[in-house]
């Protein structure tokens, strides 16, 4: 996701500094387009007025922000740090306070859609930021996003992202279990798809999710089980903090927890259908029977 976003920024005329890491191919490609490379987050922040973070989750965000080589150590007053990760809102608000003490703005702008849209510059983003900060960064966001929604103060972006991912992972769990029930009852994957894929239950999520089961396409929906489980843990914490009654969400979380505990955390979300099929004594959902 980060490579596509950065490519769009530099290709559309924004001066870009990237943080070097072991995966050299995307870094070298961005450098070939005109980007410069920094060795540490501190070095990067010292050269930038606006910083994007696109990492796995809150532990990685915190590690990049804090410490003698972190972003906060190098950021100048009025720097804006945009966390595009799917993070824990509790951590987001704590980091925003730490940044504020240094005169730095820390805001949340998590992403929706896939690496395909990142490359095309048509991601969705939901933003938590003060109005004046949002006005300053909106042109930058629109370099890589097709849909930009300003929700309000810092923290609301990450809260909305977790709700969004709960709905998405709920669909994944529902489709996976429905497929298994259908197949145990004598219906084929093709029959399932002939009805669901042409009716009101069809959606863009269904289309990418089902590409693994229907065509063995693992690249259509590249979101890992471990990331899905992480997001559902964050949502559980958010619901507890809000005092919300969440009866369904723990069941969704535990489907991903079970698959990760089985050593399959690096597989992609559509492959949950295979895992649930196996629990039902069935071959992988994409197998021809």
Q: Which long-range contacts (CB under 8 A, 24 or more apart) does 27-33 make?
A: 29/3, 30/3, 30/6, 33/7
What are the backbone angles phi and psi of residue 128, rounded to the nearest 5°? -110, 110
> Parallel, antiparallel, or unpaired for β 36-38 and 50-53?
unpaired
- Considering Cα of 231, then 20, then 11, then 3, what sign does the dihedral take? negative
| CA pair distance 172, 262, nearest whole angstrom | 18
Active-site pick, 7, 161, 230, 253? 161
Q: Residue 125 in contact with residue 109, Cβ under 8 Å?
A: yes
93: tokens are 């608000």
Cβ atoms within 10 Å of 42's Cβ, excluding its own: 18
Residues near 141 by beta carbon (within 8 Å), at least 6 away in sequence: 82, 109, 125, 127, 148
Q: Does residue 161 carry a catalytic annotation?
A: yes
What's the rounded Cα separation, in Å, for the pair 56 and 48?
22
Query: Which residue, 24, 16, 27, 20, is CA-closest to 51?
Result: 16
User: If you search the block for the tokens 């973070």, which residue do you land on?
Assistant: 53
| 269 closest CA partner among 214, 235, 224, 213 | 224
Provide the 10 A C-beta neighbour count for residue 248. Answer: 11
* Secondary structure of residue 198 in the 3-state scheme: coil
Q: Please give the DSSP secondary-structure letter assigned to residue 199.
A: S
Hey, which residues are catalytic here? 161
């Amino acid at each position: 996701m980060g490579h596509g976003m950065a490519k769009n920024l530099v290709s559309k005329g924004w001066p870009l500094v990237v943080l070097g890491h072991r995966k050299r191919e995307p870094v070298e490609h961005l450098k070939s387009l005109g980007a410069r490379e920094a060795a540490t987050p501190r070095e990067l922040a010292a050269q930038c007025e606006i910083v994007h973070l696109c990492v796995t989750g809150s532990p990685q965000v915190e590690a990049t922000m804090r410490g003698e080589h972190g972003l906060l150590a190098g950021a100048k007053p009025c720097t804006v740090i945009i966390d595009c990760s799917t993070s824990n809102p509790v951590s987001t608000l704590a980091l925003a306070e730490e940044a504020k003490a240094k005169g730095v703005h820390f805001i949340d702008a998590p992403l929706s859609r896939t690496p395909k849209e990142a490359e095309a510059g048509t991601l969705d983003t939901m933003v938590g930021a003060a109005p004046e900060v949002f006005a300053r960064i909106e042109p930058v966001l629109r370099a890589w996003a097709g849909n930009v929604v300003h929700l309000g103060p810092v923290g609301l972006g990450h809260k909305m992202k977790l709700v969004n991912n709960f709905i998405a992972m709920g669909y994944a769990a529902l489709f996976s279990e429905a497929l298994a029930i259908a197949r145990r009852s004598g219906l084929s994957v093709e029959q399932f798809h002939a009805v669901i894929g042409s009716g009101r239950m069809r959606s863009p999520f269904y289309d990418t999710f089902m590409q693994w089961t229907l065509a063995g396409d693992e690249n259509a929906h590249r979101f890992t089980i471990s990331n899905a489980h992480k997001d559902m843990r964050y949502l559980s914490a958010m619901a507890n903090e809000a005092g919300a009654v969440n009866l369904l969400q723990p069941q969704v979380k535990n489907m991903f927890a079970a698959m990760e505990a089985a050593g399959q955390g690096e597989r992609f979300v559509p492959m949950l259908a295979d895992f649930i099929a196996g629990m039902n004594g069935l071959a992988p959902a994409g197998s021809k029977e």
